[in-house]
Each structure stands twice: as structure tokens, then as C-alpha cells.
Amino acid sequence: MTTIKDIARLSGYSIGTVSRVINQHPDVSEEARRKVEEVIRREGYQPNSNAKLLKQRSTSSITVLVKGRMNIFFGSIIEHIQTELRESGEEAIVEYIDDFDNEVLLAIQLCNERKPKGLIFLGGNIEYFRKDFARIDIPCVLLTNNASSLGFANLSSFCTDDTAGSAEAVDFLIRAGHKKIGIVGGSADEDDVGEGHIDYERLRGCEAVFHKYGIPFDRRYQYVPSRFSMPDGYDAAMKMFERFPDVTALFCLSDIIALGAMRAAADSGRKVPDDLSIIGYDGIPYSYYSVPRLSSVQQDAELIARKGVEDLLIRLNYSRPAQHEIIPFRVLAGETVKKPKE
Amino acid sequence: MTTIKDIARLSGYSIGTVSRVINQHPDVSEEARRKVEEVIRREGYQPNSNAKLLKQRSTSSITVLVKGRMNIFFGSIIEHIQTELRESGEEAIVEYIDDFDNEVLLAIQLCNERKPKGLIFLGGNIEYFRKDFARIDIPCVLLTNNASSLGFANLSSFCTDDTAGSAEAVDFLIRAGHKKIGIVGGSADEDDVGEGHIDYERLRGCEAVFHKYGIPFDRRYQYVPSRFSMPDGYDAAMKMFERFPDVTALFCLSDIIALGAMRAAADSGRKVPDDLSIIGYDGIPYSYYSVPRLSSVQQDAELIARKGVEDLLIRLNYSRPAQHEIIPFRVLAGETVKKPKE
DNA sequence: CTGAAAGCGCTTACAG
DNA sequence: CTGAAAGCGCTTACAG
């Protein structure tokens, strides 16, 4: 294996100079840089990342902490993150955590055990961040949730305006003529649904619209919580049908849940969209191919991933303030929303 | 930060002894082990993996090389792999590669650049392995394809019997009364479809069944290649409808493709399963929730992942021969296969 | 069974 | 601008 030592010998410079060339230090002569780079290219030399990290005292790569398993929307963001990182020669380790577990506590543990240089949270509960994030001091990015209200200097966030997105979803249903609307998805634990939490944001957006139109909405029986998975969406929709049999439209807080709900509709003898309208959230590629095509509020997975990675990579090397940005969403009309019967 | 040095000082033993305790060397006295472990626990000490790997001259973690992006079936295997690895204190880096690119050449490059200690291939082209795998000398596992015929000492494989699985899929269609059957999915490049290649295996399984029933099958127009994605499945199905308008049943080489095909059926005015029967492959959770429920040949993602990881972890530490195991499949009847009209 | 010491491949003050 | 040298935290012959 060729090491920095070989490059030094072959180029006629010292190990230190070679190291400076590799790390783009400014104080290297043009000639030295040229020669060393030439040898590096010729030998196909790759610095040993362990030795490098050992010196720099940071242990592992960037870690991505994913909230919830089997979530296709997050899956597509993860792919984009990996692609972006690889282009910059970085690699990512992905950790999954249950929808209802505390990602910030896990992050703290990871920081102790593996010392990642940076963290990307894919989904998260703002309350957990408020409580414990101060104990994390490496650069972090939160994706799909808004952390701007928290004011942590090392936590950026990139997300859709969930309040507005949910509002548009419900608005879309109401304008189609629906009044008996059920909402499915999010945390069952009332304590969890604090301000800033995704579920809260989305629910609040919905309630504002109901209020605007003067349509009553009773959270206690028009809202059924659900993990972000198809089986859970299925069960939650079934529970909704039981509890609120004449519901004419469903807003599901994610497409995965919506797809589970579509199957639940079929199994309970409801035709979509004739008997029941459904609109989802996320706009995953799959929902575009479902029959009927799922109506949804589309988040821009690629842009969220790209902005998040770019921000993290910059802050990994330069002390810049964290930033927070809202990524635009788009309502996909689809084929699952229709005027209610009668 | 507490290091091995602190543990040595605190326990009254030398660094060497502490290291031996950590690495479970047998030649440590019971007392030393007890004391050192006690201090490690008390201090919450975590060995620095960079230093460890630097010494051991292996660079990074286990790397998972995934063939094809946005593949939900592989996605679920990846999740299982991560879960399994984490339980053993290992971490995995995931790399994606296009369906039609050469994963073995990428692996060779990775071995040079990052020196992973082990590699898990998720999908792969046996021909690529035959040609170049000899240049890889770390323990590897190939999942969902069979590498037993290759005889590499450092390459295990765990997969479904694709020949038998595909045969059963086609058999299922024929027994339902179909004769005009189209097959969708796999590589477009004829050269790619060598013996042992997944597409070849599955196609061969199909052709044997046609032969058994004396039903003619012309690969040139009853087979349409397709990447393993929904949009590609959609396009391929559309091409099939054009080329073979009175096709009554489709066997799609993956559920993802099948789901794209279902949408294509709808868009071309075909009702599933009344006008067109469809059976997929993989048995991903999603297809269980589609309307109608997709018929499919189910691979056991969890078992494939678990066996693969266990085998790799063992061979990482002990020199054992590679092993090859066939994991059973199951035909899910679903709701998308029905007797053809007329 | 244990300790002292070399060395893994790199980075980075320090001195020039 | 460059080199010599210390040291990051660990493992592992070697000697006892």
C-alpha cells in the first residue's frame, strides 16, 4: 500500500509538505504542489482516513439519523443525501430510530461513542431538540422539520412549511365540497404533539382552515394518530371508519399512510374517490403510480437533501451560523379527490 | 475524553493488558479482567475506532453495495442489515450503483480507497463476479443472487432460487388459464444476461415452464427488459401492450416493476385483473396494500439479510469457508391474477 | 499473565 | 516555503 511516506520519497519532499498539499494549505510553493500532486496521481494514492481522523480527533463519518423505518419518502431523501455526500468525497452512516423514540438522546449517545463530525436528522421532534440538543456541539442539520425557533448555533434546518402544506391539503378537500373530513397520522401521545412538532404543525394548519370555512372539527374523533407506515395507516383508517362512518374525505399526514388508507377503504367497501376522497403528504414517486393516482402535497426531497448537505459540508469546515430555509411545496391534484356524493 | 491510557492508570494495569481485556484475549487473569472491565464500565469508556483500525490496517466499516436505486425490496433488506449490524456494534456504509453498472469494479475501487473490512453486495451480475472478483480479498457476501458456482473462497451468497421462483410465477399464471403471457424486467443488454445472472435465472425458469406446458414463448416479443423501478416498469409494460396487444397476463420480475405495470394497465384502459393478470416478484410489504393486492413471489428479506450478516461477521474474525444457502420463497396469491376472459 | 516499546499513517506546531 | 519531530489512541510481538 502506498502511504504518505512513499509520496514524500517519490516526490523528493517531506511528509509534512505532502500533507500540506493534500490538505490544500496555502503556504506551499507552486512547484512543490505540482510535483506532489503529480506523484499522487501517478501512484493513485489515497490518504488513510483512519490516520487522518485519529489526528483530527473526530472519529467517524457524517451520520444520518432517520426517524421511522420503511419510510419511502425519507428513503428518497437518504439516497439524495448519499449521492451529494459522495460527490464531495464524504460518506454517511445511516441509523434508524423508531417514530416515537427520542432521536436527540440517541444522537448524544452516538457523539460519545463514535464522534461523528456532523449529524443529519431526518425528521425529528422539536420538543426533544429543545430539551436536550444543547448537549450536542457538532454541526447538525434537521431536515423536514423547522428548528429556527430554537436558535441553536449549530443546528440548521430545511423543511417544507408543514402548516401551510397541510392547510392547502384540507383546503383542497373543502373546495372539492367535503365537510366530513378525517385526519390520519402522527403521534398518539398528546404530550408529544408540542408546538413545533411535525404533527402539531400539520394539525394546526388543518384546524386553521376548518375555522376559516366555519366547518366544525373535533380532534377527538376526526383525528386518528398513526405511525408513518402502510400497516399503521391501514389500521388508523379502519379506526377512523368505525369512529366516523360517514367521513367523505381523508387527509393523511404522509403518502405511506394514505396508501395504507386506500387499501383500508377498499377492504371496507369504499371506492376511492367515489365514496371516499384521499389526499396524502410528501408526493413520493410511488403515489404517482398508484391506481387511482394519489392526490398529495409534494415536498421537494431532492432540494431538501441537497441544501441540507451543502450547509453541513460548509459548516464542517468554516464557522458559519446555522441557517433555516423553507423549501416550497406543490399540491398534486391526482385522482383521489372528487366531489362527495349526495 | 477518556482513553485507554486513563483506563490503564485507573485500573492499575498497563495499556497492553487493558487492550487485551477489550479484545477478549484469553491470556488475561480473571482478576485483571474484572478490575479493568469495572473501570471501563464506570468511566463509560469507548475505544477509539480510528486508532484501532489504523493499527489493524483496515480502514472503514462494512460497506453495502446496492445495485439499483429506489428499490423498495432492497430498501427493506438494507434496513434489516443495518439492524443486525448495529446489534453487533458494527456500522455499515451504503453505496448505490446503477442497475447496469459493474458493481465488482466499483468494489475493487472501494477496497483501494477505503479498505472496508467486509462487503455486502445487494444484487449483482454473476458475470461481473466471475470476471473480476478474484481481485478482491476481503470477506464478502452476495445477497439475492447465487454465487455458489463461482467457488470463490471469500464470497458467500444467500438468495432465493430464482429459477424455481419464476417458474412458479409462470406456472401460477398458466394454471389460472393464461397462454398469452408477457414477461417484464431485467437487463436489456443481451450480453449481460449470461448464465447465473439474475435475469437469466428468472427467464430460464419461465421458459422451462412454457416448455413443460407446450406453450410457445418467443423471447423477442414476449419479453421486455426494464430497470427495477416504477417508471421503467410503466414504460416497459406500455411497450409490451404495443408489441403484444392481446397479452392476458404479465409476470414482472419485481414488484416495483409490477406496480408500474399496474398503472400502465390502467392508463391503457385495461382493468386488473379482469383484462390483465399481473404477478410480481419479491413480495414487498407495499404490494400487500395495493388495490388490487398484488400477486407475487415473496422472498424472505429479513432472513436473507440476517443470514448474510451473520455469515459475514463470523468470517470477519475466523477463517471459515464461504457458504451458499437458498432461502425459501412463497407464492402470494393476491388479487391480480384471474382466469382470462373469453 | 503482564509490561515496555514500536509502530500504524497522518497532522501540526515549531524552528529555520 | 520546508523539514524534523511529537503525538493522536490503539495493537501486538517480544521479553520476562
Average pLDDT over residues B299-316: 91
- With a cut of 60, say whether residue A188 has pLDDT above it: no
Query: Is B293:B300 a contact under the CB 8 Å cutoff?
Result: no
Question: B126-135, pLDDT tens digit by residue?
Answer: 999 999 999 8
Using an 8 Å CB-CB cutoff, list chain B residues near A286: 230, 259, 286
Tell me the CB-side half-sphere exposure of residue A57, using CA atoms within 13 A: 4
> How long is the CA A113 to C1' D14 vector, in angstroms?
33
Question: B13-55, pLDDT tens digit by residue?
Answer: 898 899 998 877 888 898 888 988 888 888 888 777 777 777 7
The C-alpha cell 400487500 sits at B288
Question: B178-226, pLDDT tens digit by residue?
Answer: 999 999 988 755 554 444 455 667 788 899 999 999 999 998 889 999 9
> Cβ–Cβ contacts within 10 Å for residue A148, how many?
17
Query: Is A182:A279 a contact under the CB 8 Å cutoff?
Result: no
CB contact under 8 A, B93 and A91: yes
- With a cut of 50, say whether residue A317 has pLDDT above it: yes
Helix intervals (H) in B44-102: 49-56, 72-87
Most B CBs within 10 A among A99, A268, A275, A290, hence the mutation to make, goes to A290
At residue A157, φ and ψ (nearest 5 deg) are -150, 145
Least Cα distance to B331 among B290, B296, B279, B299 occurs for B296
Contact status of B75 with chain A (Cβ, < 8 Å): yes
CB contact under 8 A, A286 and B230: yes
Report the DSSP beta bridge partners of residue A181: A249
Contact status of A259 with chain B (Cβ, < 8 Å): yes
Contact status of A2 with chain B (Cβ, < 8 Å): no
**C-alpha to C-alpha distance for B155 and B219, rounded to whole angstroms:** 32
Least Cα distance to B142 among B107, B112, B171, B173 occurs for B107
- With a cut of 70, say whether residue A45 has pLDDT above it: yes
Tell me how long chain A is: 342
**C-alpha to C-alpha distance for A146 and A129, rounded to whole angstroms:** 11
What's the pLDDT band for A112 if we cut at 50, 70, 90? low
Contact status of A102 with chain B (Cβ, < 8 Å): no
Using an 8 Å CB-CB cutoff, list chain A residues near B66: none
Among B76, B82, B260, select the one facing A70 at the smallest CB separation.
Answer: B76
- With a cut of 90, say whether residue A337 has pLDDT above it: yes
**C-alpha to C-alpha distance for B27 and B31, rounded to whole angstroms:** 12
Lowest mean pLDDT among A52-66, A298-312, B28-42, B80-94: A52-66
Mean pLDDT of chain B: 87
Average pLDDT over residues A105-123: 82
3-state DSSP helix/strand/coil % of chain B, to nearest 5: 45, 15, 35
CB contact under 8 A, B95 and A86: yes
> Residue B333 CA to chain centroid, in angstroms?
23
Contact status of B66 with chain A (Cβ, < 8 Å): no
**C-alpha to C-alpha distance for A73 and A70, rounded to whole angstroms:** 9
C-alpha R_g of chain A: 24
Question: β-strands B295-298, B330-332: how paired?
Answer: antiparallel
Using an 8 Å CB-CB cutoff, list chain A residues near B305: none
> Considering chain A, what percentage of its residues have pLDDT values greater than 70?
91
- Shortest Cα distance from A112 to chain B (angstroms)? 8
What's the pLDDT band for A232 if we cut at 50, 70, 90? very high
The residue type of B95 is E
Query: Is A158:A311 a contact under the CB 8 Å cutoff?
Result: yes
Contact status of B289 with chain A (Cβ, < 8 Å): yes
Tell me how long chain B is: 342
Strands (E) in A107-194, as ranges, are 119-122, 140-143, 155-159, 181-184
CB contact under 8 A, A290 and B263: yes
Average pLDDT over residues B287-293: 94
Using an 8 Å CB-CB cutoff, list chain A residues near B69: 79
Interacting residues of A7 by C-beta distance below 8 A, sequence separation 6+: A18, A36, A39, A40, A43, A45
What is the reported pLDDT for A21? Answer: 87
> Cβ–Cβ contacts within 10 Å for residue A85, how many?
20
What is the reported pLDDT for A194? Answer: 45
Among B57, B93, B291, select the one facing A262 at the smallest CB separation.
Answer: B291
Nearest nucleotide, C1' to the C-alpha of A45?
A: C9
CB contact under 8 A, B54 and A48: yes
Which residue's CA lies closest to nucleotide C11 at its C1' atom? A55
Helix (H, G, I), strand (E, B) or coil at B162: helix
- Shortest Cα distance from A127 to chain B (angstroms)? 26
What is the reported pLDDT for A63? Answer: 86
Strands (E) in chain B, as ranges, are 62-67, 92-97, 119-122, 140-143, 155-159, 181-184, 223-224, 249-252, 277-282, 295-298, 324-326, 330-332
Lowest mean pLDDT among A5-19, A20-34, A245-259, B161-175: A20-34
- With a cut of 50, say whether residue B340 has pLDDT above it: yes
> How long is the CA B126 to C1' C10 vector, in angstroms?
38
What's the pLDDT band for A198 if we cut at 50, 70, 90? low
Which residue's CA lies closest to nucleotide D12 at its C1' atom? B16
CB contact under 8 A, B230 and A48: no
- With a cut of 70, say whether residue A58 has pLDDT above it: no
What is the reported pLDDT for A261? Answer: 98
The C-alpha cell 417458474 sits at B167
Angle, helix A198-213 to helix A162-175, in steps of 10 degrees: 40
- With a cut of 90, say whether residue B108 has pLDDT above it: no
Using an 8 Å CB-CB cutoff, list chain A residues near B286: 230, 259, 286
The DSSP code sequence of B239-252 is HHHHHSTT--EEEE
* Cell output for B243: 408489441
CB contact under 8 A, B114 and A49: yes
Least Cα distance to A223 among A207, A201, A246 occurs for A207
Average pLDDT over residues A4-17: 89
Contact status of A160 with chain B (Cβ, < 8 Å): no
What is the reported pLDDT for B328? Answer: 96
265-284 of A, contacting B, C-beta below 8 A: 266, 272
> How long is the CA A21 to C1' C11 vector, in angstroms?
12
A50 → chain B, closest CA residue? B50
What is the reported pLDDT for B196? Answer: 45
Average pLDDT over residues A116-127: 89
Among B61, B75, B291, select the one facing A263 at the smallest CB separation.
Answer: B291
- Shortest Cα distance from A294 to chain B (angstroms)? 12
Strands (E) in B193-300, as ranges, are 223-224, 249-252, 277-282, 295-298
Least Cα distance to B295 among B199, B160, B169, B206 occurs for B169
Report the DSSP beta bridge partners of residue A296: A280, A332
CB contact under 8 A, B59 and A53: no
CB contact under 8 A, B259 and A289: yes
What is the reported pLDDT for A139? Answer: 87
B45 → chain A, closest CA residue? A113
> How long is the CA A120 to C1' D12 vector, in angstroms?
38
Contact status of A101 with chain B (Cβ, < 8 Å): no
What's the pLDDT band for B248 if we cut at 50, 70, 90? very high
Strand C bases with any atom < 7 A from protein Cβ: 1-5, 7-13
> How long is the CA B109 to C1' C6 vector, in angstroms?
32
B62 → chain A, closest CA residue? A93
What's the pLDDT band for B172 if we cut at 50, 70, 90? very high
What is the reported pLDDT for A338? Answer: 95
